[in-house]
Amino acid sequence: MNDKNILKKLKIIVTPYVQNKEGLNNFNEETDFLNDLKINSANLVDVVLDVEDEFNIEIDNDSMEGMLSVGDAKDIIQQKLAHS
Amino acid sequence: MIGNDIIDLKLALSQTRAENLRFQKKIFTRNEQEFIQNSTNPEVHLWLLWSIKEAVYKAHQRIFKLPRKLNPIKIECTPITYSKNIMAGLGKVDGINYKTSSYLTSDYIHSISHLETKQDHYVKIVSEPINLKQDMIHEFSSRNLVLKEQLQIIKDRYSIPFFSLKNKKLNTSFSISHHGNFAAYIFPLIKY
C-alpha cells in the first residue's frame, strides 16, 4: 500500500480521538499525535488497536512504543504489511 | 522528583473498557489485569491503574530526560494498601520503584508518584477552567516564600518544563495533568 493511502486511512482512524481539530488541517508525517492533535495517551492505544484492525496487522509493544507521530505510524504499518 | 495524573471519571467511564481485553493487553501486565478483573468495579480500577502508570511515567521521564514513549506495560503497578478511597503502592519501571498514592472520588481519580519519602508536597485539583500555570506560580510563590514576579515556567532543551527563579533554573520538580473537566498539579514544599 502506498504512503498516501496509508495517511488517508490514518487520518480517518485518528479523527474521533483528536481534541485539537485544527491539527487535522495540516495532517502530514510530522504531525505529532500528542502535541499537535492532542490525543490523550489512553486514546493513543485505541488508535493502535484501530490501526491493527484496519490494516489487518499486529503491532507488538516494542513497535507501539515509538508510535508518536503520523510518520512513525506509517513506517510501522509499512513494516508490518511487508512481513504479513 | 514527582509525577501526577488526574482522570475525569465521567469522561473516562463514557466508554467501557474492562471487557476490552485487547486494550488491556497493550497496557496492563497479567497481575494488573487480575487486579482489575477481581475488583469490585473493574472500570474504575482500570483507570486507577492507568493513572498510576501515567504518574510514574511522568516522574521517570523527567528524572532521566527520556524521549516520550508509548509503552505503559513496562511500568508494573503493585497496590500495597487500599482503604478509604486511598491506595498506596509501588510503580516499578527500569528497575526503579516509585512510591505511588492514589485518591478516588466519584468524580475523579488522582495519582501521584515520587521517589523521596520525606518530602511534603502541595497538590491542587480543579474542576473548572483556570490558568493552571499562573495558579501554580501563585501558589508556589506564596507557599515557598519567593516573589511571584521573579518566578516563571520555562522548558529545557528536552521540552521538560521547569521553574525558573530570577532567571535561574530551579531543580524543584512539579507535575501538571489535564483530563476532561479536571486539572491538577503538584509541587514540593521547600523547608526552610
What does the pLDDT look like over B112-143, one tens digit per residue? 999 977 889 999 999 988 999 999 999 999 99
Per-residue pLDDT, B55: 96
User: Nearest CA to CA, how far is A15 from chain B (Å)?
Assistant: 17
- In 3D, which of A44, A29, A23, A43 has the Cα closest to residue A74? A29
Per-residue pLDDT, B131: 92
Per-residue pLDDT, B66: 81
Which of the two residues, B48 and B161, has the higher pLDDT score?
A: B48
Please list every residue in chain B whose beta carbon sits closer than 8 Å to the beta carbon of residue A40. Answer: 179
Q: Would the CA dihedral through B173, B60, B96, B125 be positive or negative?
A: positive
Q: How confident is the model at residue B81 (pLDDT cuts 50, 70, 90)?
A: very high
What is the rounded CA–CA span in Å between residue B192 and residue B65? 28
Per-residue pLDDT, B119: 86
The answer to whether the Cβ–Cβ distance between A41 and B23 falls below 8 Å is no
User: Nearest CA to CA, how far is B140 from chain A (Å)?
Assistant: 26
ipTM: 0.87
Selecting from A49, A64, A66 the residue whose C-beta is nearest the C-beta of B23 gives A49
What is the rounded CA–CA span in Å between residue B188 and residue B136? 12
Average pLDDT of every residue of chain B: 92
Q: State which residues of chain A have pLDDT below 50.
A: none
Per-residue pLDDT, B69: 87
Please list every residue in chain B whose beta carbon sits closer than 8 Å to the beta carbon of residue A76. Answer: none
Give the global pTM: 0.91
Chain B contact present for A16, CB below 8 A: no
Q: Which of B38-52, B69-83, B160-174 has the lowest mean pLDDT?
A: B160-174
B12: part of which helix (H) or strand (E)? helix B9-12
The answer to whether the Cβ–Cβ distance between B26 and A49 falls below 8 Å is yes
Per-residue pLDDT, B99: 96
Q: What percent of chain B has pLDDT over 70?
A: 99
Per-residue pLDDT, B52: 97
User: Nearest CA to CA, how far is B132 from chain A (Å)?
Assistant: 17
Which of the two residues, B17 and B35, has the higher pLDDT score?
A: B35
Q: How confident is the model at residue B183 (pLDDT cuts 50, 70, 90)?
A: very high
The answer to whether the Cβ–Cβ distance between B69 and A48 falls below 8 Å is no
| Contacts (Cβ under 8 Å, ≥6 apart) of B56 | B3, B75, B77, B91, B93, B98, B100, B113
Per-residue cell: A78:
509499512
